[in-house]
Copies of this chain bind each other. A is one copy, B any other.
Amino acid sequence: MSENQKTILSFKDKSVEIHRDGPTVMIGERINPTGRKVVLAALKEGDFEMVRQDAIKQVEAGATVLDVNAGVPGADEVALLSQVMQEVMSVVDVPLCIDTANPQALEAALKLYEGKALINSVNGEEKSLETVLPIAKEYGAAIIGLCMDDDGIPATPELRLKVAEKLIERAAKYGIPVEDVVIDPLAMTMGADHTAGLTTLKTIELIVAEFGVNITMGASNISFGMPDRKYLNSTYMAVAIHTGLTCPITNPLVTEINTAVLATDLSLGKDEYGMRWIKAFRKRKKAQE
């Protein structure tokens, strides 16, 4: 068993620690036009009110890091991502996870960011490694590494572990320490393969045992094509955290998901006196009033 790594993200004078012994860090996923037509339309028209509201609401609901994605087809992502970042930073002061496949947009975003950001993402493809890792190093950012490479997404946990190893080794060559590499084991849909969830859990187990790194995941893929997704997602979230997931990319506004994260922390003895659970309950109650 490897020692658990600690990833420290920051924004200005605020920092967030991601560590397996601490509370689960929710990375809010809402600032993302993908699949959200209203947000997409607003962004196209230069209306950022919804982005600001999504930022505020997610932080109120317990997200301590926010993912920021501005992938609008046809738009200039370099300008748009920077603009969205500015809007988010004008209303909340949590560290950001910069979510783009465009290196220019990534660099522009990192340039205007004050602190240590998380980059979403690099993967095991040669092109990705060579493009993203130098940028991460230059701006002192942490990175999310996806368990896929030039051959696609490996089918077995053992092969995904190999990709994680490659990501960590290559990052190290660029001077990025292992604690700044957060691995995404990739969750495939159980609708297509009912052992897909288990494969991801086993991948987490192997990677944590070998490297002790932090683990992230966009856990809603798992339920794609299945009915009653929120129940499936929230349960999978609990089991994945129990396995080693430390910073899920998720929607904290869904009560079932949010409570699953907090209840897992409490179940694992990581919520002293249950204070976070009780506080979150009061917030939910107040929000319903």
Contacts and interface: CB of A to CB of B under 8 A. Distances in A.
Given A231-B256, A235-B234, A274-B190, A201 B263 contact: no
Secondary structure at the A interface, as helix, strand, loop or mixed, is helix
Contacts of A222: 267
Nearest to A195: B269
A177 interface: no
Interface stretch (A44-52, A103-111, A236-244): A236-244
B234 A268 contact: no
Contacts of A191: 274
A152 interface: no
Given A194-B271, A226-B278, A268-B201, A235 B238 contact: yes
A98 to B, nearest CB: 30
B235 A260 contact: yes
A272 interface: yes
A187 B181 CA distance: 37
A15 interface: no
Interface of A: 190-191, 194-195, 197-199, 201, 222, 226-228, 231-232, 234-236, 238-239, 242-243, 255-256, 259-260, 263-264, 266-269, 271-274, 277-278, 281, 284
